Amino acid sequence: MSDSPYSVAFDRASVRFPGSAAPALENLTLQVAAGELLAIVGASGSGKSTLLRCVNRLVDLGEGSVSIDGREIREFELGALRRSIGYAIQGVGLFAHLSVAENLSLVPETLGWPRERTNARIDALLAAVRLEPTIYRSRRPRELSGGQAQRVGIARALVAYPRLLLLDEPFGAVDPILRPQLQEELLAVLREARTTTLFVTHDVDEALLLGNRIAVMHDGRLQAIGTPRALLENPPDAFTAELLCGDELLHRYRRARLDERERRA
Amino acid sequence: MISAILAHILLCAVAVAIAAAIAVPSALALAERPKFERPLSALLGALYTVPSLALLAVLVRFVGLGDTSVEIALVAYALYAIFRSTVVGIRAIPAEQREVAAALGLPAWRRRLRIELPLAMPAILSGLRIATLGSIALATLGGYVGGGGLGSIVFTGFALQNRTMLVEGALGVVALALLGEFVFRALEFRTQRL
């Protein structure tokens, strides 16, 4: 049903916000393969959100380029580019004056989908994120719990079969007890969706659980990139080692969890 | 008396409707373009500060006595409150919501109408309320230059030294103002508790 997933390439991309001394993103070169799930970790202010927002051009690059399927993003018509990319953020992404179904139909309406197709798609997605459509279609965002709102946010990002998904701390506002369940659900939904995903999180365990590869951001720079296994076994630098491996106990725990993930895959 | 009240309501409703039809779309289009929004705000603000009697005098000179002059003055005064409140309402939408709206890739006017306009609605309604109350007051002054409505009763009462007419007219204006306040407060209350 969906077009093939996008590949994304950053080439020496830099972003400097007016009035701040340090660049938000500095000389970033990075390739994301079609269909890959790249987890991006780092502290707040490390540039990980900026990296994401360059791709749908909420932020424009100062220098360098970002390309999608080998084509520079500035060559795309902006609206068309954004409609082909799903975007979900932490917290308040839903529009309070629209019901869940209306929030989800904004992009399909713009794409000119027939009503029945939109409705069928909304029902399927709500079911996929485990929200009973007959109950939740007509709910307003304020009638949802935090976890439910995040599920709707992810459903909205997926509704128009995006070729690329940008998720910025989608579970950041969710109760830690609920997070593992949402993470599992997300993985299941993404397997179905066949899209490329850039997933920003400050939660290392989340990145280790979800990412095909992990990019570590630090002060606007790409500090390290590799598979969870490679980064965990052989962290290339002290910063990455500190962030990913932590102390001896944490390191062992994370390796054990990774073993388990790989067994189940 | 009843016909004067209805005439007064009509004068104000038409003026606020015309002003809203001009000011709300302009504000939606210009809220994110301060380069154009600022000069327009300044112009409307300048118009708003012209004393109403002076404006009416100028209009009478060019348009003549009667409702048309009053209507033009009412629209001129209503524009500022509605335009500013719409701009402020749109700018007050939280940055995250505006970003998500942009990231969805909706065409600009669809985004404005489906997302920005409803989210700015409480502010727009308060602008309409201020414009309506101002119009009700100003339309009374219109009686001085031959406009209809409650002003004609008040000014005739003045001319004839008829206290009953004066009080009736004045009470009518107060009642209309309170009614306008009530209606818009109720609307604002409804939009605020989404």
From the list A58, A93, A109, the residue facing B102 with the nearest CB is A58
* Cα(A233)–Cα(A43) distance, integer angstroms: 21
To which CATH superfamily is domain B2-192 assigned? MetI-like (1.10.3720.10)
User: Once rounded to an integer, what is the mean pLDDT over residues A35-58?
Assistant: 92
User: What is the pLDDT confidence band of residue A188, given thresholds at 50, 70 and 90?
Assistant: confident
State residue A92's pLDDT score: 63
Contact (CB<8Å) B96/A58: no
pLDDT in tens, B22-56: 999 999 999 888 899 999 999 999 888 888 888 88
Average pLDDT, chain B: 89
Place of tokens 């306009």: B117
Give Cβ neighbours of residue A215 (< 8 Å, ≥ 6 apart): A30, A38, A39, A40, A41, A222, A224, A225
The domains of chain B are located at: 2-192
Cβ of A83 and B105 within 8 Å? yes
Q: How far is A82 from chain B (nearest CA, A)?
A: 5
Radius of gyration from C-alpha coordinates of chain B? 19
Q: Which residues on B lie below 8 Å from A78 (Cβ)?
A: 105
Alpha-carbon gap, residue B157 to B169, rounded angstroms: 8
Check whether B97 has a pLDDT greater than 50.
yes
Test mutation, B100, B111, B117, B125, chain A, max A CBs within 10 A: B100
Angle at A56 between CA A121 and CA B194, to 5 degrees: 55
User: Which residues of chain B neighbour A83 with C-beta distances below 8 Å?
Assistant: 104-105
B94 lies within 8 A of chain A by CB: yes
Distance from CA of B133 to the nearest CA of A (A): 28
8 A C-beta contact, residue B152 and residue B11: no
Amino acid found at A115: R
The domain locations on chain A are 35-264
Q: For residue A26, what are the contacts with CB-CB under 8 A and spacing of at least 6?
A: A14, A47, A219, A220, A221
pLDDT band at B193 (very low <50, low <70, confident <90, very high): low
Let me know: does A159 contact A106? Beta carbons within 8 Å. Answer: no
Span A123-142, average pLDDT:
92
Give the chain B residue whose CA is nearest to the CA of A88.
Answer: B100
CB-closest option in A82, A97, A110 to B103: A82
Label residue A41 by pLDDT band (50, 70, 90).
very high
pLDDT of res. A1: 43
CB-CB neighbours of A95 under 10 Å: 23
Instruction: State which residue of chain B sits closest to A142, comparing Cα positions.
Output: B194
ipTM for the whole complex: 0.81
Calpha distance A103→B155 (Å, rounded):
54
Structure tokens, A244: 């990913």
Nearest to A173 by CA among A149, A197, A152: A149
Q: Do A82 and B97 touch (CB under 8 A)?
A: no
Length of chain B: 194
Q: Cα angle vertex B94, ends B90, B100, to 5°?
A: 95
Contact status of B101 with chain A (Cβ, < 8 Å): yes
CATH class of A35-264: alpha beta
- The pLDDT of residue B194 is above 60: no
Average pLDDT over residues B117-137: 93
Q: Are B56 and B144 in contact (CB under 8 A)?
A: yes
Q: Which of B97, B106, B194 sits opposite A106 (nearest CB)?
A: B106
Q: What is the pLDDT of residue A85?
A: 94
Task: Give yes or no for a contact between B133 and B76, defined as CB atoms under 8 angstroms apart.
Answer: no
Whether B63 shows a pLDDT value over 90: the answer reads no
Separation in Å, CA of A251 to nearest CA in chain B: 36
Share of chain A above pLDDT 90, in %: 61
- Summarize pLDDT for A223-259 with one digit per residue, the tens: 999 999 999 989 899 999 888 888 888 888 888 888 8
C-beta separation of B53 from B141 below 8 A: yes
CB A89 to CB B100 under 8 A? yes
Sign for the CA dihedral angle at A228, A230, A233, A238 comes to negative
* A260 vs A133: CA distance, rounded Å: 33
A residues 202-231 lying closer than 8 A (beta carbon) to B? none
The answer to whether A201 and A189 are in contact (CB under 8 A) is: no
Q: What value does the mean pLDDT take over residues A148-166? A: 92
Task: Name the more confident of A13 and A2.
Answer: A13
pLDDT-derived band at A82, boundaries 50, 70, 90: very high
- Residues on chain B touching A98 (C-beta within 8 angstroms): 114, 118
Note whether B115 contacts A: Cβ–Cβ < 8 A. yes
Q: Is B95 on the interface with A (CB under 8 A)?
A: no
Give the nearest partner residue to B119 out of A56, A81, A97, using CB atoms.
Answer: A97
Tokens of A148: 């439910």
Residue B22 is which amino acid? I
Q: Identify the pLDDT of residue B130.
A: 94
pLDDT band at B71 (very low <50, low <70, confident <90, very high): confident
**H helical segments located in chain A:** 48-55, 78-83, 100-111, 115-128, 133-136, 146-158, 179-193, 204-210, 228-233, 238-240, 248-264
pLDDT at A141 over 70: yes
Nearest to A32 by CA among A10, A56, A55: A10
From A159, A210, A208, select the one nearest A186 (Cα to Cα): A210
Q: Do A58 and B94 touch (CB under 8 A)?
A: no
Chain B positions in Cβ-Cβ contact with residue A50 (cut-off 8 Å): none
